[in-house]
Amino acid sequence: MEAIKNKIMNMDEIQLKKKGRAIQSILLGLLKLIILVGIAYIILGPVITMISHAFFTEDDLYNPVVVLFPEEGTLNNFITAFTRMTFTKTFASTMIYVITLTLMQLFICSLAGYGFARYEFPFKKLLFGLVILTIVIPADALMLPWYTQFRNFDVFGILHLIKGSGINLIGTKAPMYIMTLFGCGFRSGLYIYIFNQFFRGVPKEIEEAASIDGAGPFYTYFRIMLINTMPAILTVSIFSLVWQYNDVFYAKIFAIKNSALMSLRISSLQATIQEIEKIKDPAVAQLYLYAGIIMMIIPIIIIYVLLQKRFIEGVERSGIVG
């Protein structure tokens, strides 16, 4: 009898432990869900508010009952923002500028990354350290030197000898093209690092086999190595496209015209709407700004959705964290 009682007590203890574990897992799951929902709300809350307000009318804005979903709703905000931004022309100009810089960065940064990963040369570690330093140093610290350099641009003093003065490139896109061409453009240091990490992960036997078959270094690089680093190319492409597309900092340093870039159009859209449409209330003018921002970010979202899997793979393989 005692043995049976002991078995029953042991079974009760096991069942209690199982129930305790089940309750514990439910509570942990609930805690994780609360944390995820909280983080999602912090991140997506402002975006959801912006999207809903883009469809608000003036009456919806000041209606105390309306919080998230408009009572009347309108597309007029989008139509007006589209017109005042000259969206089609500005978007085309922006994409030509951004794609050109992206292609330049892909070529220059991949070539530099390949050189650091595969070749030995004097001061290699020092030079790569300087590349890493370009990632660390804040752009604000270099703002004045960049401006003064391109305000009176010269190459080794040649123009000063010929003309007596340099060329003023402020107000044009030329400074961005020149910086990108020489591997010191917007986030170029990061892209060189990404390519370096990828090329280091590619087996050297591939290059040795190509060399035995008679392939030269440039053929090996363009026809073999670049093909094996497609995740890196896609990662850098997305980073470069998004950051160049959203850039306002460099555009304002070099005084690029507002009509040339979408990001500059957006930064001045609210003031433009208030002046042209004679809207004195900033809160109402902000509704048009929300509509303009949504139209601006849609192309980037489409690009990210289409290349999401490759992008995540590239980030994981490059070792980028944070």
Give 180-197 pLDDT, tens digit per residue: 998 888 888 889 998 988
Residue 294, domain member (yes or no) = yes
Q: Are 168 and 272 part of one and the same domain?
A: yes
Q: For residue 206, what is the domain's CATH number?
A: 1.10.3720.10
Q: Are 42 and 92 part of one and the same domain?
A: no
Q: Which of 264, 259, 262, 260 is nearest to 248 (CA)?
A: 264
Q: Which amino acid makes up residue 202? A: V
Q: Are 236 and 95 part of one and the same domain?
A: yes
Residue 62, domain member (yes or no) = no
Residue 305, domain member (yes or no) = yes
Q: Are 305 and 259 part of one and the same domain?
A: yes
Q: Are 154 and 280 part of one and the same domain?
A: yes
CA angle 263/265/266 to nearest 5° reads 65
Phi, psi of 167 (to 5 degrees): -105, 135
Residue 134, domain member (yes or no) = yes
Residue 58, domain member (yes or no) = no
- What pTM does this model have? 0.80
Q: What span, in angstroms and rounded, lies between the C-alpha atoms of 258 and 269?
A: 10
Based on its alpha-carbon atoms, the radius of gyration of the chain, rounded to whole angstroms, reads 28
Q: Are 40 and 93 part of one and the same domain?
A: no
Q: Are 11 and 129 part of one and the same domain?
A: no
Give 133-180 pLDDT, tens digit per residue: 888 888 888 888 888 888 888 887 777 777 777 788 898 888 999 999
Helix (H) or strand (E) holding 271: helix 262-276
Give 86-136 pLDDT, tens digit per residue: 889 999 999 999 999 999 999 999 999 988 988 888 888 899 888 888 888
Sequential DSSP letters for 165-221: S-B--TTSSHHHHHHHHTT-STTHHHHHHHHHHHHHHS-HHHHHHHHHTT--HHHHI
Q: What span, in angstroms and rounded, lies between the C-alpha atoms of 74 and 142?
A: 45
Q: Are 91 and 231 part of one and the same domain?
A: yes
What average pLDDT does the chain have? Answer: 83
Q: Are 28 and 102 part of one and the same domain?
A: no
Give 36-58 pLDDT, tens digit per residue: 888 888 888 888 888 888 898 88
Q: Are 81 and 124 part of one and the same domain?
A: yes
Residue 71, domain member (yes or no) = no
Split into its structural domains, the chain has a count of 2
Q: What span, in angstroms and rounded, lies between the C-alpha atoms of 28 and 257?
A: 54
Q: Are 45 and 132 part of one and the same domain?
A: no
Q: Which of 44, 57, 43, 48 is nearest to 283 (CA)?
A: 57
User: Is residue 176 a contact partner of residue 254, using CB atoms and an 8 Å limit?
Assistant: yes
More confident residue, 59 or 14: 59
Q: Are 28 and 82 part of one and the same domain?
A: no
| 141-145, 205-209, 216-220 — most confident range | 141-145
Residue 63, domain member (yes or no) = no
Sequential DSSP letters for 9-21: HHHHHHHHHHHHH
Give 232-281 pLDDT, tens digit per residue: 888 888 889 888 998 888 888 888 888 788 888 888 888 888 888 888 88
CA 208 to chain CA mean position, Å: 36
Here the tokens at position 75 are: 């597309």
The domain in which residue 15 lies consists of 2-53
Q: What span, in angstroms and rounded, lies between the C-alpha atoms of 106 and 223?
A: 15
Model pLDDT, residue 4: 55
* SS3 state of residue 245: helix
Model pLDDT, residue 322: 46
Q: What span, in angstroms and rounded, lies between the C-alpha atoms of 25 and 45?
A: 29
Residue 48, domain member (yes or no) = yes
Here the tokens at position 283 are: 């809160």
Q: Which of 269, 272, 266, 289 is nearest to 50 (CA)?
A: 289
Q: What span, in angstroms and rounded, lies between the C-alpha atoms of 177 and 121?
A: 28
DSSP at 121: -
